[in-house]
Amino acid sequence: MKARVLGAGVAGLCVATELVARGCAVTVFDAAPRPGPHGCSWWAGGMLAPFCEGETAEEPVVQLGQEAADWWERQGVTVARCGTLVVALGRDRRELDRFARRVAKHERLDGDALAALEPDLAGRFDRALHVAAEAHLDPRAALAHLRDRLEADGVTFVAEPGRPDGLTFDCRGLAARDVLPDLRGVKGEMAMLRSRDIRLSRPVRLLHPRFPLYVVPRADGLFMLGATQIESDDRRRSVRSVLELLSAAYALHPAFGEAELVEIGVDARPAFPDNLPRLTRQGDTIHVNGLFRHGFLLAPALARMAADAALDGTIPELMHEDHG
Ligand SMILES: Cc1cc2nc3c(=O)[nH]c(=O)nc-3n(C[C@H](O)[C@H](O)[C@H](O)COP(=O)(O)OP(=O)(O)OC[C@H]3O[C@@H](n4cnc5c(N)ncnc54)[C@H](O)[C@@H]3O)c2cc1C
């Protein structure tokens, strides 16, 4: 079977990977030659945190997200399976209890247990939550790896979408608003810092009623700080957001005050009104979209479901038929 995929963000690359695994001849169309800052996927933290996301996300996110770490590892992507640490400053301790009530699979840690996991946070918090079953990856490395592997498997990457020949998988992210009118953008700002004065092995979430922060460690002393969540598709980086992110990082550990500010990024996450992803079938096109803040977490499951729907005719729960 022939298939074309529109868009080479995380959704498109995962769909192409699942189609190739089922023996399809795949062409991917994207004006950009490589993964880069033009796509929302570039700016992601790379947290594979289905349980922590369950604090606010609905059950499908928690369920389907549990496939992600194994899937990425099967593709040859390096996945760090160190869990997620959740902390709160003294005055926000109640946030930790509220979070614990809503999130499954956590273990409560006292200050010593926290220091054993993350020595550089010793003495800074007297309690924390650890969600051991979670993982993280470097999104930019993961995108580049999938793309290179697809190319090695014979997938062609083309800038101009040719005429449809077989099924089309539309994975254009927010650009698909032209045919998915209830898709909206949810702005996310992030910062990248470099510090040799602090080491973390796992993502750390700092709970705060107004300025929640997460820090995701990457190689070479890099730390991704994320992320704002604003109902807007405006892509300007605001002073307020950057101040909030950097202040929260400084509150997590003062060493971040001396860190090098490497990058400030922004993009708008593609989301439907219920913030759940959707497969939408319109004739010979299957739209894979609405990944919101869960692109790396949910694209593997969505891609599997989209490929099954196309090749076996199964109708997954998240499939919508659009005859309009
Ligand atoms: C700050 C921030 C932090 C995040 N952190 C995480 C996280 O920790 N974990 C997680 O799972 N998710 C996270 N996300 C969410 C994740 O980044 C998104 O859900 C995901 O990137 C959406 O992927 P996509 O492939 O749908 O869209 P995109 O990545 O935007 O890809 C769409 C692609 O379509 C292409 N395109 C556009 N128009 C056309 C056209 N006409 N024809 C062909 N191609 C076209 C574009 O060039 C682009 O390459 C985060 C997002 C942000 C902004």
Output the residue whose Cα is nearest ligand 1's atom 10. Answer: 294
Mutate to test the pocket of ligand 1, among 18, 291, 302 (most ligand atoms within 8 A of CB): 291
Q: Residues of the chain with pLDDT > 70: what percent?
A: 99
Residue 294 in contact with ligand 1 by CB distance below 6 A: yes
Q: Name, in order, each residue with C-beta under 8 angstroms of 34's C-beta and a sequence gap of 6 or more.
A: 144, 147
Q: What is the mean pLDDT of residues 190-200?
A: 98
Tell me the whole-structure pTM to 2 decimals. Answer: 0.97
45 lines ligand 1 (CB under 6 A): yes
CA dihedral 190, 196, 200, 204 (to 10 degrees): -30
Give the mean pLDDT of 16-41.
Answer: 97
Q: How far is CA 207 from CA 102, 245, 292, in A?
A: 13, 12, 20
Q: Which atom of ligand 1 is nearest to the CA of 45?
A: 8
Q: Residue 315: pLDDT above 80? A: no
- Please indicate whether residue 108, judged by its CB atom, sits closer than 6 Å to ligand 1: no
Kindly report the length of the chain. 324
Tell whether ligand 1 has an atom less than 6 A from the beta carbon of residue 187. no
Q: Is 279 in the pocket of ligand 1 (CB under 6 A)?
A: no
Distance of CA 248 from the midpoint of ligand 1 (Å): 25
Q: What is the pLDDT of residues 32-76, one digit of tens each?
A: 989 999 999 999 999 999 999 999 999 999 999 999 999 999 999
State the Cα angle at 89 between 88 and 90, rounded to 5°.
115
- Closest to 115 in 3D by CA, of 106, 105, 127: 127
Instruction: Decide whether any atom of ligand 1 lies within 6 Å of the 296 Cβ.
Output: yes
pLDDT of 165 reads 81
Interval between CA 295 and ligand 1 midpoint (Å)? 7
pLDDT at 323 over 70: no
**Span 125-147, mean pLDDT?**
97
More confidently predicted of 233 and 294: 294
Taking 70 as the threshold, does the pLDDT of residue 324 lie above it?
no
Q: Is the CB of 34 under 6 A from ligand 1?
A: no
Q: Which of 118, 126, 131, 20 shows the shortest CA–CA distance to 84?
A: 131
| Ligand 1 contact via 276 beta carbon (within 6 Å) | no
Per-residue pLDDT at 106 exceeds 80: yes
Closest protein CA for atom 16 of ligand 1? 295
Ligand 1: centre distance to CA 115 (Å): 35
Beta strands at 222-226 and 127-131: parallel, antiparallel or unpaired: unpaired
Tell me the three-class secondary structure of the chain, residue by residue.
Answer: CEEEEECCCHHHHHHHHHHHHCCCEEEEECCCCCCCCCCHHHHCCCEECHHHHCCCCCHHHHHHHCCHHHHHHHCCCCCECCCEEEEECHHHHHHHHHHHHHCCCCEEEEHHHHHHHCHHHCCCCCEEEEECCCEECCHHHHHHHHHHHHHHCCCEEECCCCCCCCEEEECCHHHHHHCCCCCEEEEEEEEEEECCCCCCCCCEEEECCCCCEEEEECCCCEEEEECCCECCCCCCCCHHHHHHHHHHHHHHCHHHHHCEEEEEEEEEEEECCCCCCEEEEECCEEEEECCCCCHHHHHHHHHHHHHHHHHHCCCCCCEEECCC
The tally of CA atoms less than 13 A away on the side-chain side of residue 301 is: 25
> Is the minimum distance from the CB of 6 to ligand 1 under 6 angstroms?
yes
Ligand 1 atom closest to the CA of 46, numbered from 1: 8
Of ligand 1's listed atoms, the one at least distance from the Cα of 292 is 19
